[in-house]
Chains A and B, each alone.
Chain A
């Protein structure tokens, strides 16, 4: 009789709005809290990382050129889509060992976080920028701009709230991101990707590589087209030998508590641009 045997989801990478397998053909297994196999998840390679950066770079300028209002609407739309898929995320979080009460709270907090950052899209600029009273006949102002392409190490815990807390403050201002998501947390990350593709987030704005932090960190910190890295989600077991390669192109390095919600976090992924023009006749 048809329908008795469940169809399991294949967890793949998320690059440029599509779900490719790793070019390496490798996977890693994710088990549930009872030790039973949930899925074989694609394990991203260096080449996958480069593809993701390429996608993020192409998407960055168009995303930053959207109006702040539009970026805010899209983030709000992501929250709407998450809301409609609450049961799915609840099951997913429970399967990796989060209890019902904590998981329910985590999902609510994740939705709220997106709504909070959505509202910031057309406001942070007024708080962080300025018109500057210079001593001379010049109009002088400072505006924040997105840093560019941001590499993010997503925390393994809390899987869902940690992921949302890292990407929202980066993308709200027009950055694009390449996120590394490890082990059990990769299941929620890839499922969030399914939410993103149905939320009008343009392809390439968020790219997700499931795989090992120690494998992928060197490529992230050494890549010359990555402008900033958020290492808040680094696991204690991850090898940080290559971290100093951030200096290869003077990357901005962000490290904060994994589920922080703050204006400063938006500011971490911004550059301040100051423009001078003479005043005269």
Chain B
């Protein structure tokens, strides 16, 4: 597949240079024809015998066949997790749990290239992102939480805490391995055992992680991985022997899970959708702000819950800023995710592509002006060009609903008060961005923005030591940092 660059390569041809792709080799990766469920330390088949295909979204070629876990399979996984909790994990000293987590971290580092290529094949994200972001961060999460496993009493002085027991975790398709790491590492560090369900379009790196789990001799049943779609997720949510649930995904599904959990008083953490404002003041360092906005919305094709999807730019610089932004977008490379030069890879699934397309059309119908660069897109696979919508009103669907694609919506403001009003005018509250050279304005905005993560003069930065999570309908609970540990522990009564 040809990597399509802007204006059919004319930007390079101006300099007499031809584009040369740099395709990452897939030879490191061995994909099996079929994968079982990972239960009690072994790959097993489903009681129902059902399975589904997982595709490379950049080619629509089938990569493998994955087992669909039935509710009986989920029950088997939960029982394995329970038995393992009682037999091994509950009794194991924190120092030993830490050693297993360190081992997992090291194995991920050692096999990072293999994982990165597989992540890109199964999910469509550019190799430079899976290589430089997903994998290093996934390993870092295990490493960070390994250190907590034997120090929990320092994080919660004056409290007697214990693990919940069996934790059910359901993760999305945008950062498949990284989300598994965000979920598994703190759960295990705090002494829980887990039943994890990866998303149906991106199960392969979680299944490769199962191999790592086996290789590091983690006791069987501590981590169980069940593949499947919504029905498999429901079976985890509804299972009476699950003691705590953690979900990352859409606000719509998160609400269904909360409905189910609240009736049973079941501990729950939710990391849901977003519609993050990205606020550019007239005194911002514009070159850096442009790069920040590009990264904010086009990182991982905009399949990012904390994406800076609503650009709020001060009126005095709006025309200039949007002009420069569009010139920069012309230079983005959309195409083969395995090409190390690619900036924007494939849309994760056909369903997601249709949703993006439908919302952008709704935006145009409601009066938005659309900008798309003059790049060509590959014929096969799921693709959407980087897109900017201007002339958008607060009431438009594209200003209110999460698009979860490479689509930036632009609005303007005159005063900081107006910026704040527009920024907070959303049911979501996951993240927000601020660009200004004025320190006091950064703090004034940061204090008033109703969002869990604020990036000032930067965007889309993540770290295991930095708590991540939302306000309002973006969910509750934090992942990462000392503040993320509490979700995986409960009061055992009394004070120490």
* A interface residue numbers (CB < 8 A to B): 128, 130, 132-136, 138, 140, 142, 227, 240, 243-244, 246-250, 252-253, 255, 263-264, 271-278
Contact = CB atoms under 8 A, between A and B. Distances in A.
Contacts of B491: 264
Nearest to B137: A135
Interface of B: 140, 158-159, 251, 254-256, 258-260, 262-263, 265, 270, 272, 427, 442, 446, 451-458, 461, 463, 465-469, 471-476, 478, 481-483, 491
Contact of A272 (B259, B458, B467): B467
A277 B262 contact: no
B269 to A, nearest CB: 11
Given A134-B463, A252-B476, A272-B467, 18 more contacts: A130-B481, A132-B467, A134-B461, A140-B465, A142-B481, A227-B472, A243-B262, A244-B262, A244-B263, A247-B255, A250-B472, A250-B476, A255-B265, A263-B158, A273-B454, A275-B453, A276-B455, A277-B458
Contacts, number: 102
B463 A250 contact: no
Contacts of B140: 135
B458 A138 contact: yes
A57 to B, nearest CB: 13
A136 B463 contact: yes
A230 to B, nearest CB: 13
A250 B159 contact: no
Contact of B258 (A250, A272, A275, A277): A250
6 contacts: A250-B251, A250-B254, A250-B258, A274-B468, A275-B454, A277-B456
Contacts of A250: 251, 254-255, 258, 270, 272, 472-476
A278 B255 CA distance: 35
Contacts of B270: 250
Contacts of A264: 159, 491
A276 B453 contact: yes
B475 A272 contact: no
Given A250-B251, A264-B159, A275 B465 contact: no
A248 B255 contact: yes
Given A227-B472, A272-B478, A246 B262 contact: yes
A227 B461 CA distance: 27
A142 B467 contact: yes
B456 A276 contact: yes
A264 B489 CA distance: 13
B112 to A, nearest CB: 16
A272 B483 contact: yes
A58 to B, nearest CB: 15
Contacts of B262: 243-244, 246-247, 253
A140 B463 contact: yes
Contacts of A274: 452-454, 466-468, 481
Contact of B458 (A246, A273, A276): A276
A247 B265 contact: no
B468 A138 contact: no
B483 A142 contact: yes
Contacts of A273: 446, 451-454, 471
